[in-house]
Structure 1
């Protein structure tokens, strides 16, 4: 606190210096000559007319004190958004697992139902809906749709743990 005691005397000295060196007030205005003052007083002493001439007021187009509804906001119609057409998709793969068999040469043959018909799947075969069988594994059949370069899998159920004859 002792280090700030110099602030109060400094502020007082600056205020005293500003008061001492302030410019002197302006001198009173010079009076107008008597002739101009006499002319102004003679204009004031003229008699006033009995009626003042004023132009007639026009009738108002509306009541200035009536409540006015704000203008309706401008409605901007949204621009229709042109949605991009969805990319083409391959035909649906409507297959239902019907069974499997191991051929005498060791190749796998999977039987599937397509609607009311049963089709056997073997590697390299092309199905009626355009899909081609690429590979047959224990749990999946890999299919491709060549026109669109689309690959998919058809999952097979697990083989039975015992053999039925």
Structure 2
């Protein structure tokens, strides 16, 4: 089974890889902007650098994966750095979903089901991705709601 985590070098992605690497003999791939660094290596994960806004080999990887796990996103925006929920959470998720819409694989989205009032925009972003994924992928789109990560 081929499992690819988009956002695989982040805290959530690395945590999932650590668990998967212990459980079974999966072919594990991480897709992120920078590929890998010495600080985030989980064996036997294969690390790939990709820009989701550009055409590349990453699209074929997602299409051939049995499971694509979306662990991309931000907790808080930063106007000074140009980091927004739309640009850094919603758009990457939509690109992932659109890339695999004609494949037979499954998509697992790391969502959230509740948060304090100051996280309303974060929650709206998660709900927007959930609605888009369910519309485009139907039953192939699965949302999970972990606790505080």
TM-score bracket, normalised by the shorter chain, equals under 0.3
Q: Which has the higher contact order (CA 8 A, sep 6+)?
A: 2
TM-score by length of 2: 0.22
Q: Which has the higher helix share?
A: 2
TM-score by length of 1: 0.21
Rg larger in 1 or in 2?
1
